[in-house]
Structure 1
Amino acid sequence: MPRNKVCIAQGGRVLEGWQMTALVALVGYLLGSIPFGIILTRLAGAGDLRAIGSGNIGATNVLRTGRKGLAAATLLLDAAKGALAVWVGAQILPGEGAAIAGLFAFIGHCFPVWLRFKGGKGVATMLGVALALSWIVGLIFAAVWLGGLALFRISSVSGMSAATSAPLAALATGRPDLAAALGIMALIVLWRHRPNIARLLKGEEPRVGSSRHA
């Protein structure tokens, strides 16, 4: 069988390489686009998360409902869907499938079709993807995130710092094959934090625990 074709069905159906890549990307996107923050807050009777605080669907905004357990669950599930996408991608398309699925899971979280492409900022999902792609890179990501949060008490600063550290960590640990996907994610994280950057420059960015928007 040619190298650019893969058989995935018992009936012998063969998909071209680009079709397999598209399939992996679609599966990753659909997994990443599951809005756990909205689902959990609605199930808990906390209302529509998009009408609370910043309107963001991530764990930081869930924390503004006063439900720390829900915020923790959102963070874990958002990370888990990124990790799951990497695993599924690797099963469908060994080799590059893991990074492709992880990247598109991240994109799905940030731009979910179900929410008119208005999703989260992607930090937790990127953590899950990084851990699944390389546990060393993932641990560096987590250490920078937690360290920045402890030092500055500003969620946006810790999140952006962690995201930026991931492609650098991939290069430093001998995984240049992951640097491109992680670099794209880091750029999107920075882009999604544009309002936060503007507030940081003005000295108006809220600290963790504040009721102001983030």
Structure 2
Amino acid sequence: MAANPGPEALGAAQAAAAFLLAYLLGSIPFGVLLTRALNLGDLRKIGSGNIGATNVLRTGHKGAAAATLLLDALKGAAAVWICGAFWGPQAAALAAFGSLVGHCWPVWLNFRGGKGAATFLGATLGLAPWAGLAACAIWLIMAAIFRISSLSALAAAAATPFVAAGLGASRTVLWATAAMALLTILRHHANIRRLLKGEEPRIGARKS
């Protein structure tokens, strides 16, 4: 008689479905949609060209930037909650990563997306709430001190796997947060170069 695979076993079809659903949710470009709806222009031609909340803020519309931040985070959390409810904790972890991949390479924008900070935070909140709250706190503290969004995102991403480990998270959560942190850091490679040169713009600054 075959052994019970346990509640965390995930078949290939389920894994594919979870990743695809999360990817499609993550691909929704809320920043582009909101700026277009508010007649603020094509976000991809404003400032850095990024589709995230920091670049939306460069349009001068704080409400749109806040909404983009919230919705980009919510799509990551929603992917985790939906896939976890249907297929369990391994699917939730895979969905967390899938939503981030979707935000970074959205099918709707010819795979040219954002850097994933808000989606990373939202997916982590959905996957491991206490670790996610800690990541949000780190982002807020760093932003308050240095006023540099990318530095805040990098600090939060780098710390999250260690915070999750310290909180006794499962191995599934640990590999998911580590993979998401690595992807988020890699997506900020240009920001890292500017940080090292002292050229990274501060939050709210308009980038020509």
Calculate the TM-score normalised by the size of structure 2: 0.93
Deviations 1:88-141 (A, max 9, x none): 111221121111111101110011111121111101001111111121101100
* 2:166 aligned residue: 172
Q: State the superposition RMSD in angstroms.
A: 1.6
1:118 counterpart = 2:112: yes
Distance 1:176 1:38 in 2: 36
Aligned partner of residue 53 in structure 1, secondary structure: coil
Distance 1:50 1:191 in 2: 20
* 2:182 aligned residue: 187
**Amino acid in structure 2 at the alignment position of 1:156:** S
How far did 1:167 drift?
0.8
* 1:32 aligned residue: 26
Candidates 199, 204, 207, aligned match of 1:209: 204
Candidates 129, 132, 155, aligned match of 2:123: 129
Aligned partner of residue 58 in structure 2, secondary structure: helix
Distance 1:39 1:196 in 2: 24
Higher relative contact order (CA 8 A, sep 6+): 2
* 1:8 aligned residue: none
Distance 1:181 1:94 in 2: 14
**Amino acid in structure 1 at the alignment position of 2:107:** V
**Amino acid in structure 1 at the alignment position of 2:127:** L
Deviations 1:1-53 (A, max 9, x none): x867xxxxxxxxxxx81001100110000000000000000000111100000
1:162 counterpart = 2:149: no
**Amino acid in structure 2 at the alignment position of 1:152:** F
**Amino acid in structure 2 at the alignment position of 1:207:** R
Matches within 5 A, 1:47-66: 47-66=41-60
1:149 counterpart = 2:149: no
**Amino acid in structure 2 at the alignment position of 1:209:** G
* 2:192 aligned residue: 197
List gaps (5 residues or longer) in structure 2. Answer: none
* 1:78 aligned residue: 72
Candidates 96, 115, 133, aligned match of 2:90: 96
Between the two proteins, what is the percent identity of the paired residues? 53
Distance 1:170 1:202 in 2: 32
Runs of 4+ off more than 2 Å: none
Distance 2:30 2:69 in 1: 9
List gaps (5 residues or longer) in structure 1. Answer: 5-15
